Amino acid sequence: MLKITEIKKDDMRVSAWSGGTTTEIMIRPFGAVYAERDFLFRISTAKVELEESDFTALPDYERLIASLEGTMELTHACPGGEETAEIFPHSTVHRFDGGVPTHCVGKARDLNLMLRKGRAEGDLRFIKAGETVVQPLGPGEYALVYDISEGSAKLAESDEDDFLVFMAEGETALFTVRINEAE
Name 120's Cβ contacts closer than 8 Å, sequence gap at least 6: 40, 41, 177, 178, 179, 180
Cα separation, 158 vs 96, in Å, equals 28
Structural domains in the chain, sorted by start: 2-179 (2.60.120.10)
Name 142's Cβ contacts closer than 8 Å, sequence gap at least 6: 28, 41, 155, 156, 157, 175, 176, 177, 178, 179
The whole-number average pLDDT for the span 43-72 is 96
CA angle 164/6/2 to nearest 5° reads 35
Cα separation, 71 vs 88, in Å, equals 5
Pairing of strands 172-179, 141-147: antiparallel
Residue 63 has pLDDT above 90, yes or no: yes
Nearest to 142 by CA among 39, 64, 32, 28: 28
Q: Can you give the pTM of this predicted structure?
A: 0.94
pLDDT confidence band for 32 (50 / 70 / 90):
very high
pLDDT value of residue 182? 60
pLDDT value of residue 111? 97
The model's pLDDT over 124-177, given as tens digits with 9 standing for 90+, comes to 999 999 999 999 999 989 999 999 999 999 999 988 999 999 999 899 999 999
Nearest to 44 by CA among 1, 103, 88, 98: 98
